Amino acid sequence: MAGWIMPHLDLVPKQEISSFRKLAIGSWRTAYDPSVYGTLTLRMDRALDYIQAFRRSTGRRLTVTHLIAKACAEALRRCPDANAILRWNKIYLRRGVTVSVLVVQAAGGDGEADLTVTTIERAHEKSLVQIVDELDRTIERARRRRDRAVEGTKRATRHIPFLFMNASLRLLSFMMYTLNLDLSKLGLPRDPFGALTVTNVGSLGLENAYVPLVPYTRTPVLVVPGVVRDEPVVEDGKVVPGKVMRVSATFDHRFIDGFHASVLARTVREMLEDPFRCFDRLDADVPTPR
C-alpha cells in the first residue's frame, strides 16, 4: 500500500507568507471568485520574422503558441512564487516549471469540436526545437486518439452522469492536488495542467478573450494570445503600420498579484519583441531586425 501511495506533484511549502497574502488566501475559499484579468499589447513584427527564420533553419513549424509557452515558462522561472499551487490554504512552490497548452481537436462524428490539453514538463530548460517536437508528438497522438491517458480520461468522463460531474471533478481535484496523490496507476495523467495554461484564441480568428479559471485544475494563470493584426503604431513620433497582438491573462488573486503579473508581462514582452536574442539561435540567414 505504501508503494502505491506516491506524491502527485513535487512541492515544497513556501516559508515566508506576507500578511496581505494571508488575507488574500482567507478572502476566497476557492478559485471560483478571485479572478483578476489583464491585457498586454505586443509588437509582433520581429516575432513573425523569427518564426519564418526558424522554419527555414530547422524545418519545424514554429507558431506563436510555442513562443508564448516558452516565454511564460521563463517568466515562471524568474518569478518562482508564481510557480505555485494552493493546498490546505497554504502556498506550495513547484520544484519544476510545467506549462500546458490547450489544443482544439477537429469535430468528430457528432460534429462537436473537443479540447485536448498537452503539457510541457521542465519547459524552462527546453529549447524551442524540443518544445515544438514534444507538442507535435503529443498533439498527433491525441488527434489520432492514441494518447492512452487522454482517451482514458475522456472515456471515464463519458460514464459520469451530468448530475455527479461537479462532485466528481471536485473529488479528483481534492485527491490529486490537496492530498497530492499520484493517480497515474488509475489511468489519470500526472499534473495535466501545470502552473500555467496557454490557449490561443488567435487560431480561431479572435482578437481577444478573457477565459475563466477552472477550479478543479488548480492552475492559477491562464494566458490567451489573440490573432495578429495590422494596426497603426507610433515609431519615432510617426504613425506607421505594424503587426500587433493582444495577450490576455487570468490570475488567481489569492496568491498571484500585480507583482507576479508584471514579471510575466515584462518577460513575455522582452522575448516576443526581441526574439532573435531571447529564443534559440538560428543558423540560417535572418532578416534585418525592424
Query: Is 283 part of any domain?
Result: no
Query: Is 287 part of any domain?
Result: no
- C-alpha 26/C-alpha 23 separation (Å) is 5
Q: What are the C-alpha distances in Å from 67 to residues 70, 77, 164, 251, 253?
A: 5, 15, 38, 20, 25
pLDDT of 169: 84
Torsion of CA 27, 33, 39, 40, to 10 degrees: 50
Residue 111 — left, alpha, or beta (φ > 0 → left; ψ -120 to 50 → alpha)? left
- C-alpha 64/C-alpha 226 separation (Å) is 10
Query: Is 172 part of any domain?
Result: yes
pLDDT of 290: 52
Give the pLDDT mean for 136-153. 74
Write the CATH number for 209: 3.30.559.10
Query: Is 235 part of any domain?
Result: yes
Residue 94, SS3 per DSSP: strand
Determine how many CB atoms are found less than 10 A away from the CB of residue 208.
16
> Model confidence over 89-125: pLDDT tens digits?
899 999 999 999 988 765 555 555 667 889 999 999 9
58-72, 74-88, 135-149, 261-275: segment of lowest average pLDDT: 135-149
Q: In the chain, how long is the greatest CA-to-CA distance?
A: 70
26 or 142, higher pLDDT: 142
Query: Is 260 part of any domain?
Result: yes
Considering its fold, how many domains does the chain have in total? 1
- C-alpha 232/C-alpha 96 separation (Å) is 40
% of the chain with per-residue pLDDT over 70: 82
Q: Which of 72, 74, 54 is nearest to 63 (CA)?
A: 54
Give the pLDDT mean for 15-34. 60
Q: H helices then E strands: how many in the chain?
A: 8, 10
Give the pLDDT mean for 64-79. 97
Query: Is 128 part of any domain?
Result: yes
Residue 128 burial class via C-beta count within 10 angstroms: exposed 0-12, middle 13-18, buried 19 and up: buried
Query: Is 199 part of any domain?
Result: yes
Query: Is 164 part of any domain?
Result: yes
Give residue 155's pLDDT band: very low, low, confident or very high (50, 70, 90): low
* Residue 20 scores a pLDDT above 50: no
pLDDT of 30: 61
* Domain extent at residue 131: 11-278
Beta strand extents in the chain (DSSP E only): 11-13, 35-43, 84-87, 90-94, 99-105, 114-120, 196-199, 221-225, 229-235, 238-252
Give residue 187's pLDDT band: very low, low, confident or very high (50, 70, 90): confident
pTM for this structure?
0.85
